[in-house]
Amino acid sequence: MEAPSQMLENWVWNKESLKLLSSHYKDSSSIEENLLNDLIKTKNAGSGMHNMRQIMFAKMDQYFHTNEKVKKILKKNFTIKQIY
């Protein structure tokens, strides 16, 4: 299910594809060139935040797997209720 979306996520940002997929809802006119260019520029908006989120997950993972205190807790097989 994920593979098709990953394969198709890039072609939709081509001008030709966007022109085919978009039109005004009332009169079916084509999207304006300047709006189309602005839309394409937004493709990578937010990618920095996504990358920072992934880095945070990686750092947490490294902490959990290298911190001796955490390792001791995990070895005792506590339940969530006991920890909190």
Q: Clarify whether residues 2 and 41 are in a common domain.
A: yes
Q: Tell me the two tokens of residue 18.
A: 């966007």
Mean pLDDT of the chain: 84
What is the length of the chain? 84
| 35 and 10 both lie in a single domain | yes
Shared domain check, 74 and 37: no
* Residues 41, 56 within the same domain: no
pLDDT tens, position by position, 20-35: 888 889 999 998 999 9
Domain count, the chain: 2
User: Are 58 and 37 contained in the same domain?
Assistant: no
pLDDT band at 52 (very low <50, low <70, confident <90, very high): very high
- pLDDT for res 40: 87
Cβ contacts of 30 within 8 Å, gap of 6 or more: 19, 22, 23
Which structural domain range is residue 2 located in? 1-45
Assess whether 11 and 37 both reside in one domain. Answer: yes
